[in-house]
C-alpha cells in the first residue's frame, strides 16, 4: 500500500525570494508519529511543503493531510486534487477538529482530536474495505507504548531543529483563546508518556540539542521530575515551554536547568488582571512576573516571552508598556501576537455572539492580522502597535539594554547573540535555507545555549507584579 503524508505550507513559506526561518524550524512530528502505525510493507512518503517541493502527479492509495487554520485552503485544494484522481484522502488536525463540517466535503475520512487511537483503527478498517467517514478521539487516550516515531522519514538537513520531540499531549490549563483546548475536547486533555519511553526516544536523537514542543513541559510534576533526573548526565541542551506558575512553584525549574534546560517559552500574555480573568488564564493571576524573569535568569535560562495584544482591557499604551517591561527584565526574545479568535475556542464563541468577528478568511488568522473588533483600540491602531512592538523590541538599543540586565558577562553575550541572530540576520537564514545548510548552524546554536554559571537569586524586594508593567 502506498501512503503519502502531507503538511501543506503557507504561501509565504514557498516564496523563491524570501523564506522565513520560522517555517524551517521543526519537522512534522505529528505525521511521523502516525506513520509509525503503518505496516513495514507499506510504502510511505512524508512531505513538508514548507521545506521541499510538493508534486501531485502521483496516485497513492491513501493521502493523509494535516490541516491547521492558515493552511486550510491549500490543504482542501490538495485534497480535492487527489480525490479527483481516485486516491483515498483523510484530513485531520486542529482546524478539522474545530470545523469538521467544513473539512468533511474535501475528504473521504476526517479525524477529530489526536490520532494515536483513531489512526490505527482507520488502517484496520481501510484494509478490511470498510473505512468510516469520521473518526473521533474521546475516551482511552494514551501515549504509553507508542511505536517509535518514524524519524527516518524526516529530512533532517532541511531543519534548524531536527531534534524536536513531544513527550506529553495537551495542557492542564484551559485558556479561552487556546486552539488546543478544542482539539482535546471529549477526553483527557493532558497526559504523558512513560518516563522510560521518553528517555528512550531522547537516546535515539543524535547530537546535543533538543527542543521539547510540548505545550507545558512542567505540567505533570512527577513525570517532569523523572524525565529531568533521567536526563542528568546526558550532556543535552534543550529548550521547552512552561507556565508562569510552574516556574515559581517548588524546585522543578532548578531540576530542569540541571538536566540541560537553557531556553524557555513563557506565556506571560498580558499584565492586566481583568484580561487574565476573562481569558481564564488563572495560572497567571497574582503571579510576580518579575520574579519569573529573575529566577530564570539566575539559572542561566534565556526567556522567550509570549505577549498578546488586543484584549478587551488593552488601550493604546499596552504596546510600549509591554516592550519596556520585557527589555527592563532581560527577556531574550519576545513573540507578540494580535489576539486571534480561533474557531472552536470560547473566545471565538464570545466574540461571535457579540457580533465582533469581522473576517472568516482563515489565511488572516495568523496572529498578525486583526479579524475582530477590539474593545478599546481601532483595528488600525492594534495592527500598527503590534508592528511597532516588534520593531522596538528588536531594535539594536533595546537588544543591548535587555542583555545588560543579566549579572554575568557570558549570559549577557548569549542574550545579545541569540536575540540578534534571531531577528537581525534574516538574510543569512534565507541563504542557509536555500543552500540547504541549516545543519551547519547547529554548532553555533549549541554554543549560544551552553551553560551559564548559576547566579545567586537577587535578594531585593519583589517588583513587577502583573499590575506594575
Question: Tell me, what's the pLDDT at 460?
Answer: 40
Question: Tell me, what's the pLDDT at 114?
Answer: 95
Question: Tell me, what's the pLDDT at 453?
Answer: 58
- Report residue 184 as a C-alpha cell: 482535546
Residue 117 is classified by DSSP as T
What's the rounded Cα separation, in Å, for the pair 164 and 24?
A: 12
Query: Within 13 Å, how many C-alpha atoms sit on residue 322's CB side?
Result: 30
Task: Give the residue ranges of DSSP H helices in 67-165.
Answer: 72-84, 94-98, 100-103, 118-127
What's the rounded Cα separation, in Å, for the pair 27 and 158?
A: 9
- Identical fold, 2-136 and 160-441: no
**Contact (CB, 8 A) for 453 and 413:** no
Q: What is the CATH number of domain 160-441?
A: 3.20.20.70
CA dihedral 375, 377, 380, 383 (to 10 degrees): -90
**Contact (CB, 8 A) for 196 and 229:** no
Q: Tell me which of 225 and 421 has the higher pLDDT.
A: 225
> Band of the pLDDT at 459, cuts 50, 70, 90?
very low
| Residue 304: alpha-carbon gap to chain centroid | 12
Task: Give the residue ranges of DSSP H helices in 204-260.
Answer: 221-231, 244-248, 252-259
Residue-wise pLDDT tens digits, 203-217:
999 999 999 999 999
Q: Where are the domains of the chain?
A: 2-136, 160-441
**Contact (CB, 8 A) for 404 and 342:** no
Question: Tell me, what's the pLDDT at 198?
Answer: 97
* pLDDT, mean of residues 255-277: 96
> Band of the pLDDT at 368, cuts 50, 70, 90?
very high
**Contact (CB, 8 A) for 260 and 238:** yes
Question: Tell me, what's the pLDDT at 282?
Answer: 85
What's the rounded Cα separation, in Å, for the pair 186 and 138?
A: 5
Question: Tell me, what's the pLDDT at 454?
Answer: 52
- SS3 category, 180: helix
Q: What is the CATH number of domain 2-136?
A: 3.40.50.280
Reference 204, options 443, 446, 437, 36; nearest CA is 36
What's the rounded Cα separation, in Å, for the pair 407 and 294?
A: 10
Mean pLDDT of the chain: 93
Mean pLDDT check: name the lowest of 65-69, 105-109, 139-143, 365-369.
Answer: 139-143
What's the rounded Cα separation, in Å, for the pair 452 and 5?
A: 41
Amino acid at each position: 500500500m502506498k501512503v503519502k503524508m502531507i503538511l501543506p505550507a503557507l504561501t509565504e513559506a514557498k516564496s523563491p525570494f524570501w523564506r522565513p526561518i520560522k517555517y524551517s524550524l521543526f519537522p512534522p512530528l505529528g505525521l511521523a508519529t502516525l506513520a509509525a502505525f503503518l505496516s513495514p510493507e507499506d510504502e510511505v512518503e512524508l512531505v513538508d511543503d514548507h521545506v521541499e517541493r510538493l508534486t501531485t502527479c502521483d496516485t497513492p492509495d491513501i493521502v493523509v493531510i494535516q490541516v491547521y487554520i492558515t493552511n486550510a485552503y491549500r490543504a482542501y485544494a490538495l485534497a480535492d486534487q487527489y480525490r479527483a484522481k481516485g486516491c483515498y484522502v483523510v484530513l485531520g488536525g486542529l482546524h478539522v477538529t474545530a470545523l469538521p463540517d467544513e473539512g468533511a466535503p474535501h475528504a473521504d475520512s476526517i479525524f477529530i482530536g489526536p490520532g494515536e487511537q483513531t489512526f490505527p483503527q482507520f488502517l484496520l478498517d481501510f484494509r478490511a474495505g470498510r473505512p468510516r467517514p469520521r473518526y473521533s478521539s474521546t475516551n482511552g487516550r494514551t501515549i504509553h507504548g507508542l511505536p517509535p516515531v518514524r524519524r527516518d522519514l524526516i529530512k533532517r538537513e532541511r531543519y534548524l531543529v531536527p531534534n524536536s520531540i513531544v513527550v506529553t499531549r495537551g495542557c492542564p490549563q484551559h485558556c479561552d483563546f487556546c486552539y488546543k483546548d478544542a482539539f482535546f475536547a471529549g477526553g483527557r486533555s493532558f497526559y504523558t508518556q512513560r518516563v522510560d519511553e521518553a528517555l528512550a526516544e531522547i537516546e535515539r536523537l543524535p547530537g546535543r540539542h533538543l527542543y521539547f514542543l510540548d505545550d507545558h513541559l512542567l505540567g505533570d510534576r512527577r513525570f517532569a521530575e523523572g524525565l529531568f533526573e533521567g536526563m542528568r548526565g546526558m550532556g543535552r541542551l534543550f529548550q521547552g515551554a512552561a507556565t508562569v506558575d510552574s516556574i515559581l512553584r517548588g524546585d522543578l525549574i532548578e531540576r530542569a536547568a540541571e538536566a540541560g534546560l537553557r531556553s524557555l517559552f513563557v506565556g506571560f500574555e498580558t499584565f492586566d488582571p481583568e484580561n487574565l480573568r476573562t481569558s481564564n488564564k488563572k495560572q497567571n493571576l497574582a503571579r510576580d512576573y518579575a520574579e519569573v524573569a529573575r529566577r530564570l535568569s539566575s539559572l542561566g535560562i534565556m526567556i522567550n516571552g509570549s505577549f498578546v495584544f488586543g484584549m478587551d482591557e488593552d488601550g493604546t499604551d499596552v504596546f510600549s508598556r509591554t516592550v519596556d517591561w520585557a527589555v527592563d527584565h532581560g527577556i531574550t526574545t519576545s513573540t507578540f501576537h494580535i489576539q486571534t479568535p480561533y474557531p472552536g475556542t470560547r473566545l471565538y464563541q464570545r466574540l461571535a455572539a457579540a457580533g465582533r468577528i469581522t473576517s472568516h478568511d482563515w489565511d488572516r488568522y495568523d496572529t498578525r492580522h486583526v479579524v475582530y473588533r477590539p474593545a478599546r483600540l481601532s483595528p488600525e491602531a492594534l495592527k500598527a502597535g503590534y508592528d511597532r512592538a516588534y520593531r522596538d523590541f528588536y531594535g539594536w538599543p533595546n537588544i543591548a539594554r535587555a542583555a545588560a540586565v543579566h549579572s554575568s558577562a557570558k549570559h549577557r553575550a548569549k542574550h545579545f547573540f541569540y536575540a540578534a541572530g534571531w531577528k537581525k540576520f534574516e538574510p543569512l537564514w534565507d541563504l542557509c535555507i536555500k543552500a540547504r545548510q541549516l545543519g551547519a548552524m547547529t554548532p553555533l546554536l549549541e554554543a549560544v545555549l551552553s551553560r551559564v554559571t548559576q547566579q545567586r537569586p537577587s535578594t531585593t524586594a519583589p517588583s513587577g507584579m502583573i499590575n506594575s508593567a
